[in-house]
Structure 1
Amino acid sequence: MLRPWALMAALACAAATPALAEDTLGRIASAGELRLGHREKSLPFSYKDATSGKVQGYTVDICLQIFEEIKKELKRPDLKLTYLLVDGKNRITDVKNNVVDLECGGTANTAARQKEIAFSHHIFVASSAFLVKKTSGIKTLDDLQGKKIAVQGKTTNENLLKANERTFARKFNYVPVDSTLDAVNALAKGEADAAFADDAGIWIPLTRLGKSMDDYQFLEKRLSVEPYSIGLRREDPKFKELVDRVTRRMIQNGELTALYK
């Protein structure tokens, strides 16, 4: 027989359990919507078209496939899709804090981030690269000593630059930007001597800015190789199984390759 204080504690725990234990699929079914976190200018992975206002990109297309799978799983063809803007500073915390159900940007799946959120299967592999003008005379990282480098703040790329400075006693001058598009634009306008970003996201901004790819080049040295994944909350095995089911199928049947082309 429970004592009065123990009974009260048990009732309190029981009352709290549903809110704490509600999984993502349960929340989606209850609310009638999937909340998809997207980036504003993370081309070609996740961005909002300036003309149409449409959210699109490689990762977004994958997340739309996951959305269709969720509708089938829940037998809810009426589910609503809500797009929520995230950025490099809040994308991880918005997943953790239940603001978005899926983070569909261009996000590196790192060991540090795995401590905070879960990730899908890898959907892309990129390397962190320096883009410079061919006329700059910059060939190596030593040539960047004291130079201005445009890099997105609070990202793995910024951390890589700082680690390189410490390891090799180099000093870079940072030009903080909000996106790869802004980094490339800073380079093109002469506000930076190099743009440092994931290589996969650099060429499309160049084209969008009306610049010729023939005038730019990557330095041979890369600071990392980073797999990209879709972010979701931890300790939700049912939802992760669904997400992995979709990404695994798309990998196996060649849809991912076709999407990026």
Structure 2
Amino acid sequence: MKKKFSLLALVIFMLSIFTVGCASKNKADNSLEEIKNKGEFIVGLDDNLPPMGFRGENGQIVGFDIDLANEAAKRMGVKAVFKPVDWDGVVLSLNNKDIDVIWNGLTITEKRQKQIDFSKPYLENRQVLVVKSDSTIKNEKDLKDKVLGIQLGSSSEIALNSKPDVVKSLKEVRKFSNNTEALMDLKASRVDAVLVDEVVGRYYISKQPNVYKVLSEDLGKELYGVGIRKNDKTFKEELDKVLDEMKKDGTAAKISEKWFGENIVK
């Protein structure tokens, strides 16, 4: 009798595991279907990050990542809706389902990979130092006793913290809510240098070539990807497929040439 009871208990236990597993799998597999039913996916971004995503002259959000997201959404049969969020809390916004993706020059880091999933990398970037055109700063060693500006919660902050000797040598690290404010303070000589994504730094320099310059030395290389919730597997698979198609047929290259003057898509 005890053997029969034990066998029955084991069967019930195994069925419960199978049921829970299937339910979890089905929940994950519904992510693409949910997006299709909504007819849109919500993109969380910092709308002050030229040329990735920013406000144009008419107040609309434009940029390299904006064009990529719109094209990807079109191919998926939905539309992209852009929602500005606090960048320092953007991962929390994604996991709380306030947004569906983070698509805004998002660096793939080990810490973020523990919290969210990523699309395949689509852009390679560097962390560079931007200084005024007449600055005597030539490399990271020259930052000793200087004031450095960075964006709060950005990959620049992560790159800086990976170099404790540099941090220790600085007079001050001044944190800003966005790179635009940091570079404005650089122009006004309130900071001595700004650590920023190269794609962002070079965009600003192209607009004001006599004001800023980028140092040749970098503080680390990185890859950009689209941030996705860990359970949204089918949505990620479809997005990766669409991004691959855009690279193969030259659409991604055209978007890159529009914003950077060359194809830098990985």
TM-score by length of 2: 0.80
Determine the C-alpha separation between the residues in 2 that align with 1:33 and 1:257: 24
Counterpart position of 1:75:
none
Determine the C-alpha separation between the residues in 1 that align with 2:239 and 2:73: 9
Distance change in 2, residues 1:20/1:226 (3 Å): same
Determine the C-alpha separation between the residues in 2 that align with 1:246 and 1:32: 16
Determine the C-alpha separation between the residues in 2 that align with 1:194 and 1:87: 24
1:82 Cα shift?
3.0
Aligned residue pair count: 244
Q: Which runs of 5+ in 2 are unaligned?
A: 258-266
1:26 Cα shift?
2.7
Counterpart position of 1:90:
89
SS of residue in 1 equivalent to 2:115: coil
| Paired-residue identity, % | 23
Report Cα offsets for 1:190-220 as digits up to 9, x if no partner.
Answer: 1110011011101333455xxx314432223
Counterpart position of 2:209:
213
1:183 Cα shift?
1.7
Counterpart position of 1:123:
122
CA RMSD of aligned residues (A): 2.8
Asked if structure 2 preserves the Cα contact closer than 8 Å seen for 1:152 and 1:179, the reply is yes
Counterpart position of 1:76:
none
Q: Given the alignment of the two structures, is residue 70 of structure 1 paired with residue 76 of structure 2, yes or no?
A: yes
- The letter of the residue matching 2:151 is Q
Q: How does 1:154-193 map to 2 (within 5 A)?
A: 154-166=153-165, 169-193=168-192
1:105 Cα shift?
0.7
Moved more, 151-160 or 81-90: 81-90
Report Cα offsets for 1:154-204 as digits up to 9, x if no partner.
Answer: 222112223323478523411211222222111111111001101110133
Asked if structure 2 preserves the Cα contact closer than 8 Å seen for 1:184 and 1:206, the reply is no
Counterpart position of 1:112:
111
Q: How does 1:20-59 map to 2 (within 5 A)?
A: 21=28, 23-49=30-56, 51-59=57-65
Determine the C-alpha separation between the residues in 1 that align with 2:167 and 2:62: 40
- The letter of the residue matching 1:60 is I
Asked if structure 1 preserves the Cα contact closer than 8 Å seen for 2:149 and 2:195, the reply is yes
SS of residue in 2 equivalent to 1:94: helix
Distance change in 2, residues 1:93/1:142 (3 Å): same
Asked if structure 2 preserves the Cα contact closer than 8 Å seen for 1:164 and 1:170, the reply is no
Counterpart position of 1:233:
229
Moved more, 118-127 or 191-200: 118-127
Report Cα offsets for 1:88-141 as digits up to 9, x if no partner.
Answer: 212222222222112121111122211211111222111001111232211122
Determine the C-alpha separation between the residues in 2 that align with 1:57 and 1:254: 18
- Could you list the runs of 4 or more consecutive aligned residues of structure 1 that deviate by over 6 angstroms after TM superposition? none
Counterpart position of 1:244:
240
SS of residue in 2 equivalent to 1:106: coil
Counterpart position of 2:66:
60
SS of residue in 2 equivalent to 1:136: coil
Asked if structure 1 preserves the Cα contact closer than 8 Å seen for 2:148 and 2:172, the reply is yes
1:48 Cα shift?
2.4
Determine the C-alpha separation between the residues in 1 that align with 2:192 and 2:167: 20
Determine the C-alpha separation between the residues in 1 that align with 2:80 and 2:143: 45
Asked if structure 1 preserves the Cα contact closer than 8 Å seen for 2:205 and 2:211, the reply is no
Determine the C-alpha separation between the residues in 2 that align with 1:27 and 1:239: 9
Asked if structure 1 preserves the Cα contact closer than 8 Å seen for 2:45 and 2:87, the reply is no
Q: How does 1:12-27 map to 2 (within 5 A)?
A: 21=28, 23-27=30-34
